[in-house]
Amino acid sequence: MGLFSLFKKNKADDDAADTEAGAEDDAGARLAAHSELERQRVQQELQRDIARATAMKIDAIEAAMAADIFDDEDMPWASRPARAPRTAALDGNTLPLLEAGTTELLGELDTPAEAAAAETAPVVEEVALLYANGQAELAAELLAAAARDQRDRTVWWMLFDLYQILGRQEAFDSLSIDYASTFETSPPPWNPPAAPDNAVPPPAGVVPTVALHGMLDAGCAAQLARLSPAPAGPAGSLRLDCSRVRGVTPEGCALLLAALRAVQAAQRELTVAGAAELARQVGAILAIGRRDEGEAPWLLRLELLRLQNREKDFEESSMDYCVTFEVSPPPFTPPQRVALAPGQPLAAAAADRFVLPYVLEGDASAVIEAMLVYAEQYPALVFDCARLARIDYGAAQQLLGALQGLGERRIEFRDLNHLAAALLRLLGAGASVRLFPHRY
């Protein structure tokens, strides 16, 4: 027994010794690891201190260099006492306030509404002449080349207009992508001018304007009566201006829908201004699955989208209408004998306008004769160019010559495409006639 007890005691002692040795090894390993982490932390702090010191040294050197350069009295930009204001009289060729800041003269984001001279005048003028003489393809090539090399928006706007007139939507869409990337703004929508019906071309002449304003409700019945099927103006042409509508009701939507359908059924020429904004306002009172407003606002929105030739938006709204009323929506048919114009500012004349034809070329005596009759009836002359795709050089000269003979009158060309505006500006129209191209 004693012998075995001795062996047990020795075994226990050995185990205790091994445990103590293992603990010492673990402690040593932890100490080594801690020392390594501490060394890495110290090294990182040292590197940060070195980096801060280097940055401070670079800043000091740059500051010293800048001080040496801009404090040098021999340099042209050196600091010098402010000059006394000039007291000499200014002649007629001197611009006052030339030393004032640009924003003080123009105001921030102040873009003139009238046509302004392009930055790349030679290209713009050459293209305007080429297009006026019927060389549209060559004009498109020059504009495309110019748009790749410069940021003058006039060149881009002219090319947008030309692609729409030529019906080249793929080229228009490609240009839209480049425009958005270059100017960081939304490109214009595809809205080609309405080509005339070859069988019954719309003549030029005075077109009655129905200008809606305020709330589109039951009180608009008297105004919408002017859209009745009875011919009024050349070939029954009409102009509907929705720019000043500020809200809609289901009753007003029903009245306008009936009037638009009557105009379309009578195959009358119709120009609509502010259709996009009105469609947005009608859509604002609608909700999928809610029938409280009735079908009229839904159908009016579809009709406005159709008149704008927005087939994709029409189909999407048709599905919403189908889900709401559980009936088949009306089919999409391309608009006929319809021209679109952007929403007009509040200052725009609301009187009846003289609509220019799709193309004005050659002998313009018939148009000028009708224009003079129009001038006898109205003190301010507003020419609607929403349909005008092209005017040639000779016709433009005849037109401007006749307008100059009217004396001191307020004369405006509205909704011009930028190609026609460039030609009229080239011929000196800006001196006596105000040019308002459509806005992009």
pLDDT of amino acid 122: 86
Residues 422, 153: Cα–Cα separation, whole Å: 13
For residue 131, what are its two tokens?
A: 């297009």
Asked if 351 and 375 count as a contact pair (C-beta separation under 8 A), the reply is no
Residues 184, 181: Cα–Cα separation, whole Å: 5
- The model carries a pTM of 0.58
Q: What pLDDT digit, counting tens, does each position of 152-211 carry?
A: 899 999 999 999 999 999 999 999 999 999 998 989 888 877 665 444 445 556 777 888
Asked if 238 and 210 count as a contact pair (C-beta separation under 8 A), the reply is yes
Q: What pLDDT digit, counting tens, does each position of 42-77 carry?
A: 566 655 565 555 556 566 565 555 555 444 444 443
Which ranges constitute the DSSP H helices of 71-209? 102-106, 121-132, 136-149, 153-166, 169-183
Residues 409, 288: Cα–Cα separation, whole Å: 52
Q: Residue 124 — very low, low, confident or very high, per pLDDT cuts 50/70/90?
A: very high
Pairing type for strands 353-355 and 338-341 reads: unpaired
Asked if 412 and 381 count as a contact pair (C-beta separation under 8 A), the reply is yes
> 10 Å Cβ neighbour count for 226?
15
- Mean pLDDT over 266-295 rounds to 92
